Structure 1
Amino acid sequence: MFPTAETGAHRPVTVEAELDEPLSRWLWLVKWILLIPHFVVLFFLWIAFFVVTVIAFFAILFTARYPRPLFDFNVGVLRWSWRVGFYSTAAFATDRYPPFSLGREPDYPARLDIGYPERLSRGLVLVKWWLLAIPHYIVVGFFVGGGGAGGGTEEQWFWSAGLITVLAFIAIIAKAFTRTYPGELFDLITGLNRWVLRVTAYAALMTDAYPPFRLDKGGSERGPAPERSP
């Protein structure tokens, strides 16, 4: 019933990214318009993600297994979301339009893999997505924001936007005026996104390895990669 810590030797979630150069100095101003088709598709994909996770909950509870087709679908939704975020407000670190794909897309500069678990704990599935993950939810809430956005004051916008979005805007504005995307800022933004995605995979019952309270900065992961999903 207790969480198993993720270590370098056991890394079920891999999040990698590459800063794509050159970047347009002003394309970021209209990316939200260009991404409207993705937002529409992702709206329905995340509804399906939630339904699949509920089905997986009962499958794990009774069989200790996450049905592989359902697992691969949810991995695909996370990949798609990570690519869209990397293109836009989660990083602004590429101008390559994200593909409409649930697959790996190894040539895209934002990549995600989650190793398929052959067995999962029936006991942990009852508590890990809410009780055990509460400390991470507090931290991730600060990273991604989502608080009340009313009023329009500067402080309210910062809380609503979240740290990741604020840093991404700082980076792309620096790029617009200095022609350089700050490398240290890219490493930090990627590390924050990596933390969020690890917690998301854990809360979605895709691994029993408890996400580390550790900011792994930079585009490359440490340690061996997990078995790749299709």
Structure 2
Amino acid sequence: MTAPLTLYSYWRSTTSYRVRAALNLKGVPFETVPVDLLAGVQKSAEYAEINPGRGVPTLVLEDGSVLTQSLAILDYIDARWPEPALLPTDPLVRARVQAAAHTIAVDVHPVNNLRVVTHLRDAYGADTDGAMDWMRHWMVEGFMAFETLVQDDTPFAFGHAPDLADLCLVAQVYNAHRWGVDLTPFPKVQRIEAACLDVPAISAAHPDQQPDAETPA
């Protein structure tokens, strides 16, 4: 019997959230191996052998092949399991979907990454308020751009079904809620998040639904 896919993931990781949602949408079974980023498990020698970047997600395929970097993993998933598609076939629309997705995944997420914020604190003396202001600033910048890039008249970013842009956005909005970003100026962002969370495959990928999620005190 073929072994299932194994996803090394952290429950609050927005990049892991994207990949979980994509696998769920396509009906691909996988096993989750939690990687506690706050405890530093990703820095261990054992994990570094799997993912030299010491991050999540990491996807291990049935034959033992290892994939890292969420956008690369999503590209693989979409190529191997084409339905439902995360990217349209029309070259112009495809580029627009990717531009919106990258606005979140390339412009916002990297500067809000845990290790970046930790370095701000350790190397530059940023306190908790300073670190939160940093994260909010880049999320607001990204959401402002995203609002201009997506459609006005569809529930999702570019149509009536979720695509790559939607998966990148809904994961980042989870972070925005955590850090108290005011979403009032971003009606499209709010609309798309609501549409995404109405999809069972995406809501099942939500951080609070993961096996390693912390139980509120």
- Give the structure, 1 or 2, with the largest relative contact order (CA under 8 Å, sep 6 or more): 1
Q: Same fold (TM over 0.5)?
A: no
* TM-score for the superposition, normalised by structure 1: 0.29
* TM-score for the superposition, normalised by structure 2: 0.30
